[in-house]
Structure 1
Amino acid sequence: MSDLPARESMEFDVVIVGAGPAGLAAAIRLKQQAAQAGADISVVVVEKGSEVGAHILSGAVIDPIGLDGLLPEWRTDPDRPLKT
């Protein structure tokens, strides 16, 4: 057996696999709940695509009620990369 080089590693409190709608919503909600509880947790989302949303059907029509509940200010926040 050959000696393998040491691998780089990072530690997180929560690892979410997949940056689809459910994974991103879970990460956002966990951070929101932690902030409300006065805790600081590290959350990472691992995505196999080249970028977030790479595996989501483009041009899909969605009901924004989920975004409204999760991020109430998303429509007016200039830093959010979401467009209607």
Structure 2
Amino acid sequence: MTGSDDTILEFLQEYDLALSPRSIEYNLSSRHEADISYSTINRRLKLLSEVDLVEKEYPDGGFYSITNKGISYLEGELKAEDLERE
């Protein structure tokens, strides 16, 4: 887990939306002053999906949302070392 992961998860939790990687990048950089590149967001979302912290709601369009497991992670109920890739 990286600081970028936490930022992405916190953003998805705060706004409770399913967003594309490009939408996340745009909003984080232009409205929330977080400097995370599109390629990093895209790569991290795929990894976060593998450990079930986010889910791809609309596979054809690539819209991601936070899962209950992702919320549990942010609330400190899960540790990074407890997460396993499927």
TM over 0.5: no
Structure with higher RCO (Cα < 8 A, 6+ apart):
2
TM bin, normalised by shorter chain, reads 0.3 to 0.5
What TM-score results when the alignment is normalised by the length of structure 2?
0.33
User: Which structure would you say has the larger Rg?
Assistant: 1
What TM-score results when the alignment is normalised by the length of structure 1?
0.34
Richer in helix (by share): 2
